[in-house]
């Protein structure tokens, strides 16, 4: 068994105030959401498991983590005049 670690990107849902969207850049098309950060992460974990199960059922290998470039979590402070 191999352990894979996929980055999950969270951001506020622009269409639902107070909700969060979770995306996994290494798994194209995978996106889910949750009412809180914790629920969005739980939903992402479940969606990743289903995504990988589907790949396995089709005989496909899972994408290598980081294959869609590094995910950098940071903030940028910008002064605007």
- CATH code of the domain covering residue 30: 3.30.160.250
| Whether the predicted model's global pTM rises above the 0.85 cut | no
Write the pLDDT tens digit of every residue in 24-57. Answer: 999 999 999 999 999 999 999 999 999 999 999 9
> Which of 27-31, 65-69, 73-77 shows the highest mean pLDDT?
27-31
Q: Which of 20, 19, 17, 62 minimizes the C-alpha distance to 9?
A: 20
Q: Which domain holds residue 3?
A: 1-81
Average pLDDT, the chain: 89
pLDDT tier at 70, thresholds 50, 70, 90: low
If one counts the domains in the chain, the total is 1
Of 28, 23, 24, 21, nearest to 4 by C-alpha is: 24
Q: Higher confidence at residue 2 or residue 71?
A: 2
Give Cβ neighbours of residue 47 (< 8 Å, ≥ 6 apart): 22, 24, 30, 32
């Amino acid at each position: 068994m191999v352990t894979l670690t996929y980055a999950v990107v969270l951001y506020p849902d622009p269409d639902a105030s107070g909700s969060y969207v979770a995306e996994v850049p290494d798994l194209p098309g995978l996106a889910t959401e949750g009412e809180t950060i914790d629920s969005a992460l739980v939903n992402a974990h479940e969606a990743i498991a289903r995504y990988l199960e589907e790949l396995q059922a089709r005989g496909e290998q899972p994408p290598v983590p980081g294959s869609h470039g590094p995910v950098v979590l940071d903030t940028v402070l910008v002064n605007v005049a």
